[in-house]
């Protein structure tokens, strides 16, 4: 069994390779697609997850079999820094293995400060890692309402700043964008903090019709107005490009592979 895999179709936009260590998540986001994708009930998915059986054994096997020259995303399903039954030890051991085999890695989490316990390993990767946070709400109450058990916005922002300040490549994923004003405030805050190297901007997709009432064109124009003068690496996701198709973009803002981590 292989645990490193190539996401297919539109999912490929997120990363050339992915690795899921835990198939459950404590963060309990209202918009989470994972229970549906895994054909599980919410009660069976939003639990303190245990690691997938023998995941480290299979990971080592995968890494021995071939060399990965493009980033492996942790993770597509679940969050490797949510509260887990093994206190995130599998995350740490997986990172150690990936580093030992010189694999390039991207870590995306809503775990905030919990990510920092593995900072020593992130640093050991050097340029072969990017560590990111999903930023959704600036307002604490809204964050609690939509992502009840994820780290609060201030904690995620602080973690990005600490990582960036020690020289670790950072990224922020703005997807979903539930309230554009909230996402724009977060972009402004990260620019003030100078905590993010690479911005990935998306939208809210097919959530109870809420996305239909949002002016995505205006959101994209305002996001670009903030980010372009700051000369940040920007990737505009396909869903947002389609919803705001008359907004001109540079080639480097539409290429999902341009800013990925490489070996
Ligand atoms: S962090 Fe991701 S996997 Fe976890 S509940 Fe939220 S959307 Fe789902």
pLDDT score, position 10: 84
Residue 92 belongs to domain spanning: 4-253
The model's pLDDT over 3-51, given as tens digits with 9 standing for 90+, comes to 999 999 888 999 999 999 999 999 999 999 999 999 999 999 999 999 9
Please write down the HEC assignment for all residues of the chain: CCCEECCCHHHHHCCCEEECCECCCCCCCCCCCHHHHCCCCHHHHCCCCCECCCHHHHHHHHHHHCCCCECEEECCCCCCCCCCCCCCHHHHHHHHHHHHCCCCEEEEECCHHHHHHHHHHHHHHHHHEEEEEECCCCCHHHHHHHCCCCCCHHHHHHHHHHHHHCCCEEEEEECCCCCHHHHHHHHHHHHHHCCCCEEEECCCCCCCCHHHHCCHHHHHHHHHHHHCCCCCEEEECHHHHHHCCCCCCCHHHCCCCCCCCEC
Residue 27 lies in a domain: yes
Residue 89 lies in a domain: yes
Statement: residue 105 has pLDDT above 90 = yes
Cβ(110) to ligand 1 under 6 A? yes
Measured in Å, residue 107 CA sits from the centre of ligand 1 at 14
Cβ(79) to ligand 1 under 6 A? yes
- Which residue, by CA, sits nearest to atom 8 of ligand 1? 32
Residue 105 lies in a domain: yes
Cβ(25) to ligand 1 under 6 A? yes
CATH number at residue 115: 3.20.20.70
Mean pLDDT of the chain: 97
Measured in Å, residue 95 CA sits from the centre of ligand 1 at 20
Considering its fold, how many domains does the chain have in total? Answer: 1
Residue 132 lies in a domain: yes
Residue 259 lies in a domain: no
Cβ(156) to ligand 1 under 6 A? no
Residue 249 lies in a domain: yes
- Which residue, by CA, sits nearest to atom 3 of ligand 1? 78
Residue 261 lies in a domain: no
The model's pLDDT over 159-215, given as tens digits with 9 standing for 90+, comes to 999 999 999 999 999 999 999 999 999 999 999 999 999 999 999 999 999 999 999
- Global pTM reads 0.97
């Amino acid at each position: 069994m292989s645990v490193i895999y190539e996401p297919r179709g539109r999912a490929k936009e997120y990363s050339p390779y992915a690795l899921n260590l835990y198939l459950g998540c404590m963060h309990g986001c209202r918009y989470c697609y994972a229970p549906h994708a895994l054909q599980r009930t919410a009660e069976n998915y939003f639990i303190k997850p245990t690691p997938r059986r023998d995941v480290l054994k299979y990971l080592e096997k995968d890494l021995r079999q071939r060399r990965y020259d493009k980033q492996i995303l942790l993770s597509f399903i679940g969050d490797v820094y949510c509260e887990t039954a093994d206190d995130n030890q599998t995350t740490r051991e997986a990172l150690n293995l990936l580093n030992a085999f010189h694999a390039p890695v991207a870590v995306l989490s809503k775990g905030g400060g919990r990510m920092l316990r593995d900072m020593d390993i992130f640093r050991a990767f050097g340029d072969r890692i990017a560590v990111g946070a999903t930023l959704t709400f600036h307002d604490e109450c809204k964050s609690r309402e939509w992502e009840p058990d994820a780290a609060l916005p201030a904690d995620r922002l602080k973690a990005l700043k600490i990582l960036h300040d020690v020289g670790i490549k950072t990224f922020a994923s703005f997807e979903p964008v539930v309230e554009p004003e909230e996402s724009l405030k977060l972009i402004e805050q990260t620019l003030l903090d100078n905590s993010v190297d690479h911005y990935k901007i998306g939208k809210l997709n097919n959530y109870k019709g809420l996305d239909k009432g949002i002016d995505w064109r205006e959101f994209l124009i305002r996001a670009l107005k903030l980010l372009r003068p700051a000369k940040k690496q920007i990737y505009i996701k396909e869903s947002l490009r389609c919803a705001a198709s008359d907004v001109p973009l540079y080639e480097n803002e539409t290429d999902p592979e341009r800013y990925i981590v490489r070996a």
